[in-house]
Each structure stands twice: as C-alpha cells, then as structure tokens.
C-alpha cells in the first residue's frame, strides 16, 4: 500500500507501560530482577480463598508472561546489566487494620457501586521486598494487577523490571463504574470466551461486566421457574447458559433482560404476553427483526415480567440489574388489539401503562435489594417516574448525559458516538446498501478522547458513575470477539480509572498513551487473548517513529 506520510524518526523513549496508568506514580531508572526464590506473602488472618487464588495467578504470570520489552533489541542489551542487578526476593501484601472478618474479593466487587474500595499503594524497591497495602482485598487485587505489568523477560529466563524503584501511593479509580457490555443474544458466546473476556477486563481494572443476555432474536438464559423460555427461545439446546454457567460468569456481572421492547423471542413460549409477534414488514413494528414487544398494558404480562426478572436477579451477586426500556415501538401497540383493549379497560394511556409496568418491575428489584438500570429513553422520552436510585445508561448520544443529570439521576456513559465497538462494519440488514447506522468505526483514540464531564455543571458532576464500551453482536461471534474488543476497550478503562490528569500533571493524549497500549496488547497476546495489532511491529518497537 502506497502512502505519502512523512514520519518523524526519533530515539526510543523508555516508558513504564502500565495500563491504566496509576493516578500517582514515581519511577527510577534502575534494573531489578526477580529472585528465583521470589514469593508473595501476606499478613492477613484467615485470608479469603479468592485472594489466595489471585496471589497464585500473579505468581504464575510473573514467570509465564515472557513478554520482552518493546524496543528494537527486545531488551537484549539489559541482559549484561542484569548480572549485577539487585534481586527482589518477595512481595508482601497487607491490609490496613480492619474491623471484623476480611471480606473476599467477590464480596467487595459486588457491593453497591459507590461503596466499593479499590485503592492500593505499591512500592517496588531496588532489591529486597516489595509491598502492596490496601483497605480491602479488592484493593490488593488491583495492586497485584499493576505489579504484574512491571515485569519483562530478557530471553534468557530472567524476569526483571527496568525502572525501579517504583512508588505508587493511594492509586484509586476516578469513577467506580468501568465496564464492558457483551450482547449474547444476537449470536451465542460460549462460557470459555466470556471468561477470557473477563480476564482481559481484569487486566485493565474494569469493574463491571454488563451482560446483555437476551433480546428479540434468542433467549439463551436458564431462569429458575421458567425453563421454557430458554428451551423454546435459545438457538439450540447447546446454546443455553445453564444455572452453573451463569454463576460461573456473573461474579463481576450486571445482567440485563431488555423490556418491554426487544422481547419477540418470548412469543415462542408465551405468545399471550407478546404484541405483534413476527409482524411484517418488521420495519413498521420494530427497530430490527423480529418484531414483538411485551404487552405492557396487561396486568398478567406485567406480573409475568416482574416474576421473571425477580427470579433471575435473586441468583446474581450484582446489585445492579437492567430492565432495558430502549427503542419502544408505539405503532406495535397501536395495532395490537389486546393492548388497545387493556388500555380501554384500565382507562390508562400507553405512557401511563408503561409507567405502571416500570413501577411493578422496578419494585420487584428493589424488594430484593437490587438497583434498577435503564436506557436513556426511559428518562428522556417517556413519562415514567423513575426513583432517584435508578441508574441511566446514556447511549444515543454523549450530548444527552447533561439532560439525564439535570433530572437528578445517576448515569453511566455508554454513547454510540464514542463507545460502540460494532460500528463501522457495514450494514447487517439484508438488502441494504450503505454503512451501519453508527458509522464510522470507533477507534481507541476516539474513545480515549472522551470527556466524562463535558457540558455538566458542578452540581451534576457527582451523578456520573463512569462508563462502558459495548459490543452489540449482530456481526460478532466467538471468532472475532477478542480482535474487535481488545485492546480498543481498554481505552475507556483508563479514561474512567485515571481521570483527566496523568500522574505527571499532563492531560491524557493518544500519542503518549500509544506505547503503553502497545505493551498491554502484547501482554494480552502472551496470555492467549487475541488482541489486534495497533500498528506494524516495526512501529511498536520504535516509540514515536511512526508519529506525524
């Protein structure tokens, strides 16, 4: 491919390749190697098993990552210096004094989103013992994740860091919600692929997996008391998430069952609850095929929906549960005789029926101590009385966040103009000529440029919980999952962890971020995550050489 770009050739600039970069960071320029007898120890009485498991994983990764430095000689010149370099003999983990039993990482990670404690301090000296100190096991876990990213292989079997000493004090996230959403309804993703995605999320300190589990096309979720939904709504008996699968996935997940729209598949098991099922032309009755929506004006359907939502939500550790609420098709209800009869019988308008439906479903969630989450239309387009505890996902446009905050509602940034990973692949609807509705392709640089506080007043800032990137799966499957998500989705992980100021006081820029993101991508590949390359390998080894 011919190109007329003029490249600036500069000397490689060493950089500590942490992602997300800590909010405080001091580094040196010395080499330190791991002692062959290196061990991670702790001073925690009755440590929870998942913390011990995290320690074991970190210990294994320190020796198995085998990532060489992204410089021209891949760090070969460090080998001679390492002969006389000091050794790190261990890593000591400790908790600041706590009252009562130590909670597990899972317990900490599934608390109400604003009460999680993720901060830690890390010190790596020139030899001796490194330390991680935190106020929670979740904080220790975040510290271990940072510690893992410091180490490289010199190709002779020596594991070393090259910018010791390293001091990180009170690193904690700017925003509590740092998420990724996966749609498993349009195409099915086996548990092994989802768990690999969770591993990648953990590498970049994401705090929430938003599982868009069902939609109009399929219902692959096994729900206690409602086995028929998956039996008749899944693509096949092999494409169902069993009870054990769900528990395997949801330790860091917030699930979603979209209602009342995007529910056509329920008609296969409960046709009495669905308006305009499979109606044609689908464009008249739905935003995408197949048509079909819950009969929200029916008291029977409302009870059914509340029971389904409550049944699955009870089995999930997450405090958040999304009831959807996007892309409601009014024409479907106008032409559904049963809905019109229900409205006439109750004396309600469609908007009043939607409000009653929402009060019932959200009430069922609050009864079991879950926080309802909705898409932005429920706050901005419909006459629905949302409680102040409700969380709103802003997706249509980043500009709409201010309108949600003005309603004194907490929000999660999920805008299609920054964070939709499926954009730019062309139109998936057959017979269409043109691009996808949310073109262009959303680059990592675009996501990294996002300002969570744009157009918000000082009074509205506290309503921002964070943000997430999303993969709607009309054109995605296990075959392209890793490459379409990683390392792109890591961009927002740093936006919402580090915030608007880097540890040196500068503003984030894609130019300074690129070499660190390269490093993350190569480390992901070492761990079996098929993250896509950001540049030619030649550029990745020569920091700045391919900049304008």
Residue 199 and residue 160 share a domain? no
Residue 318 and residue 195 share a domain? yes
Residue 297 and residue 211 share a domain? yes
- Out of 124, 150, 171, a domain closes at 171
506 Cβ partners below 8 Å, 6+ apart? 512
- Residue 433: band (very low, low, confident or very high) from pLDDT cuts 50, 70, 90: confident
Question: What pLDDT, in 10s, does the model give residues 144-153?
Answer: 999 999 999 9
Report, as an integer, the average pLDDT of 158-167. Answer: 97
Q: How many CA atoms lie within 13 A of 356 on its CB side?
A: 19
Question: What pLDDT, in 10s, does the model give residues 43-90?
Answer: 999 999 999 999 999 999 999 999 999 999 999 999 999 999 999 999
Residue 520 belongs to a domain: no
- Out of 141, 171, 201, a domain closes at 171
Which CATH number does the domain housing residue 370 bear? 3.20.20.80
DSSP secondary structure code for residue 419 in this structure: S
Whole-number pLDDT of residue 445: 98
Q: Collapse the DSSP code of 152 into the 3-class scheme (helix H, G, I; strand E, B; otherwise coil) and give the result.
A: strand
Whole-number pLDDT of residue 100: 79
Residue 522 belongs to a domain: no
Residue 310 and residue 400 share a domain? yes
243 Cβ partners below 8 Å, 6+ apart? 222, 224, 315
Beta carbons of 405 and 460 less than 8 angstroms apart: yes
Residue 514 belongs to a domain: no
Whole-number pLDDT of residue 15: 63
How far apart, in whole angstroms, are the C-alpha atoms of residue 121 and residue 91? 13
Q: Collapse the DSSP code of 365 into the 3-class scheme (helix H, G, I; strand E, B; otherwise coil) and give the result.
A: helix
Checking if the pLDDT of 291 tops 80, the result is: yes
Q: Determine the Cα angle at 327 with ends 405 and 221, to 5°.
A: 100
Beta carbons of 101 and 45 less than 8 angstroms apart: no
Question: What pLDDT, in 10s, does the model give residues 519-541?
Answer: 999 999 999 999 999 999 999 99
How far apart, in whole angstroms, are the C-alpha atoms of residue 247 and residue 245? 6
Q: Which two tokens stand for residue 481?
A: 């999952």
Nearest CA-CA partner of 246 in 318, 141, 325: 318
**Residue listed under structure tokens 């925690």:** 44
HEC sequence for 2-51: CCCCCCCCCCCCCCCCCCCCCCCCEEEEEEEEEEEEEEEEECCCCCCHHH
Question: What pLDDT, in 10s, does the model give residues 86-135?
Answer: 999 999 999 997 677 899 999 999 999 999 999 999 999 999 999 999 99
Checking if the pLDDT of 12 tops 70, the result is: no
pTM attached to this predicted model: 0.95
Residue 512 belongs to a domain: no
Whole-number pLDDT of residue 248: 87
Question: What pLDDT, in 10s, does the model give residues 481-522?
Answer: 999 999 999 999 999 999 999 999 999 999 999 999 999 999
Respond yes or no: is residue 327 known to be catalytic.
yes
434 Cβ partners below 8 Å, 6+ apart? 427
Checking if the pLDDT of 8 tops 60, the result is: no
Residue 470 and residue 453 share a domain? yes
How far apart, in whole angstroms, are the C-alpha atoms of residue 135 and residue 328? 44
Q: How many CA atoms lie within 13 A of 361 on its CB side?
A: 34
Q: Which domain holds residue 83?
A: 10-171
Residue 181 and residue 161 share a domain? no
Number of domains in the chain: 2
Catalytic one among 327, 381, 427, 474? Answer: 327
Residue 333 belongs to a domain: yes
Report, as an integer, the average pLDDT of 314-327. Answer: 93
Residue 212 and residue 271 share a domain? yes
125 Cβ partners below 8 Å, 6+ apart? 32, 88, 164, 165
Longest dimension (CA), the chain: 86
Residue 226 and residue 132 share a domain? no
Whole-number pLDDT of residue 7: 34
Residue 95 and residue 220 share a domain? no
Checking if the pLDDT of 137 tops 90, the result is: yes
Residue 538 belongs to a domain: no
How far apart, in whole angstroms, are the C-alpha atoms of residue 243 and residue 253? 15
How far apart, in whole angstroms, are the C-alpha atoms of residue 313 and residue 319? 9
- Which residues share a beta bridge with 130? 91
Q: What integer best gives the mean pLDDT of the chain?
A: 94
Residue 546 belongs to a domain: no
Residue 527 belongs to a domain: no
- Out of 114, 140, 171, a domain closes at 171
Checking if the pLDDT of 231 tops 90, the result is: yes
How far apart, in whole angstroms, are the C-alpha atoms of residue 455 and residue 460? 9
Which CATH number does the domain housing residue 57 bear? 3.30.379.10
Whole-number pLDDT of residue 6: 33
HEC sequence for 293-319: EECCCCHHHHHHHHHHHHHHHCCCCCC
Residue 227 and residue 122 share a domain? no
**Residue listed under structure tokens 């075959």:** 479
Residue 461 and residue 418 share a domain? yes
Nearest CA-CA partner of 412 in 365, 469, 355: 469
Residue 140 and residue 244 share a domain? no
Checking if the pLDDT of 172 tops 80, the result is: yes
Checking if the pLDDT of 9 tops 60, the result is: no
Checking if the pLDDT of 364 tops 60, the result is: yes
Whole-number pLDDT of residue 288: 93
Whole-number pLDDT of residue 488: 98
Whole-number pLDDT of residue 2: 42
Checking if the pLDDT of 10 tops 60, the result is: no
């Amino acid at each position: 491919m011919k190109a007329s770009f003029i490249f600036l050739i500069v000397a490689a600039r060493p950089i500590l390749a942490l992602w997300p970069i800590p909010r405080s960071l001091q580094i040196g320029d010395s080499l330190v190697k791991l002692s062959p007898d290196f061990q991670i120890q702790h001073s925690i009485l009755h440590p929870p098993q998942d913390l011990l498991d995290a320690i074991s994983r970190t210990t294994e990764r320190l020796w198995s990552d085998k990532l060489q430095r992204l410089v021209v000689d891949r760090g070969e010149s460090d080998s001679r210096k390492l002969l006389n370099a000091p050794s790190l003999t261990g890593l000591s983990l400790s908790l600041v004094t706590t009252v009562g039993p130590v909670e597990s990482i899972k317990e900490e990670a599934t608390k109400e989103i604003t009460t999680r404690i993720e901060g830690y301090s890390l010190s790596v000296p020139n030899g001796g013992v490194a330390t991680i100190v935190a106020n929670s096991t979740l904080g220790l876990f975040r510290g271990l994740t940072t510690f893992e990213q410091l180490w490289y292989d010199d190709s002779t079997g020596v594991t070393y860091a090259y910018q010791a000493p390293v001091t990180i004090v009170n690193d904690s996230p700017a925003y509590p919600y740092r998420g990724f959403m996966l749609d498993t309804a349009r195409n099915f993703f086996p548990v092994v692929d989802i768990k690999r995605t969770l591993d990648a999320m953990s590498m970049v300190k994401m705090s929430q997996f938003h599982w868009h589990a069902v939609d109009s096309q399929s219902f692959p979720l096994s729900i206690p008391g409602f086995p028929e939904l998956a039996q008749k709504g899944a693509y096949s008996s092999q494409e169902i998430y069993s009870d054990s699968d769900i528990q395997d996935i949801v330790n860091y997940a917030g699930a979603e069952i979209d209602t009342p729209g995007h529910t056509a598949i329920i008609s296969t098991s409960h046709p009495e609850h669905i308006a305009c099922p499979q109606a044609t032309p689908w464009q008249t009755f739905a935003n995408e095929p197949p048509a079909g929506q819950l009969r929200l004006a029916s008291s029977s359907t409302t009870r059914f929906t509340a029971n389904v939502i409550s049944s699955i939500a009870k089995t999930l550790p997450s405090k958040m549960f999304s009831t959807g609420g996007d892309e409601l098709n009014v024409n479907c209800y106008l032409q559904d005789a049963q809905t019109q009869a229900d409205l006439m019988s109750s004396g309600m308008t469609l908007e009043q029926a939607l409000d009653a439906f929402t009060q019932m479903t959200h009430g069922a969630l609050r009864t079991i101590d879950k926080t309802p989450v909705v898409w932005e239309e429920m706050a901005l387009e419909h006459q629905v009385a949302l409680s102040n505890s409700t969380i709103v996902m802003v997706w249509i446009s980043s500009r709409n966040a201010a309108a949600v905050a003005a309603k004194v509602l907490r929000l999660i940034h999920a805008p299609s103009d920054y964070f939709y990973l499926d954009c730019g692949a062309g139109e998936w609807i057959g017979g269409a000529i043109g691009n996808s509705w949310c073109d262009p392709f959303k680059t990592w640089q675009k996501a990294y440029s996002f300002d969570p506080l744009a157009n918000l007043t000082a009074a509205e800032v506290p309503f921002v919980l964070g943000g997430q990137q999303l993969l709607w799966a009309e054109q995605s499957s296990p075959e392209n999952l890793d490459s379409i998500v990683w390392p792109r989705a890591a961009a927002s992980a740093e936006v919402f962890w580090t915030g608007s100021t880097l540890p040196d006081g500068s503003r984030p820029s894609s130019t300074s971020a690129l070499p660190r993101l390269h490093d993350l991508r190569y480390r992901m590949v070492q761990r079996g995550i098929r993250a896509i390359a950001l540049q030619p390998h030649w550029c990745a080894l020569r920091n700045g050489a391919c900049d304008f």
